[in-house]
């Protein structure tokens, strides 16, 4: 099978700490190497004409990590926002940050707003999920629906997948076609639970700092060999080709 449209790739960038440990380096060095790998993956996405790249940078649960590691992650995040926004804009990439923002420092919150403003227009989109959780996303959408019902703007009978989906993060973007996780773990860890309902899943044993253009090319090739049925039979899909 081949020829699956590939508009949106989402990646769980896992394995930074283990990459550093394997090399006798402190954990933050792994995260730093991971940030540097983003450019390689973005280059591959451009070659494959991928419209949206979503990266899981920091989950809602990552606040539970050791304070020094969290501090290092925040420093890297702040540095990336300040350093890359102008470059993204120059390359025609729109930047969007999804997730909660109230738990970030005022400095980071301000940097997010500024970076999104600097890189507000582009033919392709880079989405960074920071302090994001799929369950939080669904709960937030449900609250929006409940508020509309309370205001009399919609009834209970109006609540369906489309109504709830309208309040889900990235509802204006195509859903992920391919969801990749590096680092050898085989789970999606509360990432894009709603959006990834029909995503093709690809798990790589490579740690994120080792996952470059060639590795992404392999994941994309694997994706194009799959048959996406969306509930239909193989025969139905073949007849529609």
- 21-75 pLDDT, tens digit per residue, is 999 999 889 999 999 999 999 999 999 999 999 999 999 999 999 999 999 999 9
Q: Is 237 a domain residue?
A: no
Q: Is 144 a domain residue?
A: no
pLDDT greater than 50 at residue 1: no
Q: Is 167 a domain residue?
A: no
Q: Is 190 an active-site residue? A: no
pTM comes to 0.92
Q: Is 188 a domain residue?
A: yes
pLDDT greater than 90 at residue 234: no
pLDDT at 4: 84
Q: Which of 4, 17, 40, 62 is catalytic?
A: 62
CATH of the domain at 72: 3.40.1180.10
pLDDT greater than 60 at residue 177: yes
Helix (H) or strand (E) holding 8: strand 8-12
Report the DSSP pairing between strands 178-181 and 8-12: parallel
Q: Which of 14, 131, 137, 177 is catalytic?
A: 14
Q: Is 194 a domain residue?
A: yes
**Sole residue written with tokens 């990266």:** 55
Q: Is 74 a domain residue?
A: yes
pLDDT at 197: 96
pLDDT greater than 70 at residue 176: yes
Helix (H) or strand (E) holding 163: helix 161-165
Give me the phi and psi of 182, to 5 degrees please: -95, 175
Q: Is 189 a domain residue?
A: yes
Across residues 115-139, what is the average pLDDT?
97
pLDDT greater than 90 at residue 88: yes
Q: Is 210 an active-site residue? A: no
pLDDT at 228: 73
Name the band, by pLDDT with cuts 50, 70 and 90, for residue 162. Answer: very high
Q: How many domains does the chain have?
A: 1
- Structural Rg of the chain based on CA atoms: 19
pLDDT greater than 90 at residue 86: yes
Q: Residue 178 belongs to what domain range?
A: 8-134+174-230
Residue 38: which residues within 8 A CB-CB, separation 6 or more?
A: 55
Tell me the C-alpha distance between 90 and 93, whole Å. Answer: 8
Q: Is residue 40 within 8 Å of residue 31, measured between CB atoms?
A: no
Q: Is 88 a domain residue?
A: yes
């Amino acid at each position: 099978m081949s020829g699956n449209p590939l508009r949106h790739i989402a990646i769980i960038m896992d394995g930074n700490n283990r990459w550093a440990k394997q090399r006798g380096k402190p954990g933050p060095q792994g995260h730093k190497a991971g940030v540097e790998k983003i450019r390689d993956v973005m280059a591959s996405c451009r070659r494959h004409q991928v419209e949206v790249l979503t990266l899981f940078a920091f989950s809602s649960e990552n606040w539970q990590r050791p304070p020094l590691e969290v501090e290092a992650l925040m420093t890297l995040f702040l540095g990336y926002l300040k350093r890359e926004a102008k470059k993204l804009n120059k390359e025609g990439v729109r930047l969007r940050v999804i997730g909660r923002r109230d738990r970030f420092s005022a400095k980071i919150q301000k940097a997010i707003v500024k970076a999104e403003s600097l890189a507000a227009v582009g033919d392709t989109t880079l989405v960074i999920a920071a302090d994001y959780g799929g369950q939080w996303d669904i709960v937030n959408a449900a609250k929006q629906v409940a508020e509309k019902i309370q205001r009399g703007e919609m009834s209970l009978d109006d609540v369906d997948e489309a109504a709830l989906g309208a309040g889900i993060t990235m509802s204006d973007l195509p859903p992920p076609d391919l969801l990749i996780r590096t680092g050898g773990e085989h789970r999606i860890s509360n990432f894009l639970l709603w959006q990834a309902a029909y995503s093709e899943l690809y798990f790589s044993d490579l740690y994120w700092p080792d996952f470059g253009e060639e590795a992404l090319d392999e994941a994309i090739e694997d994706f194009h060999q799959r048959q996406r049925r969306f509930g239909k039979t193989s025969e139905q899909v073949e007849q529609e080709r």
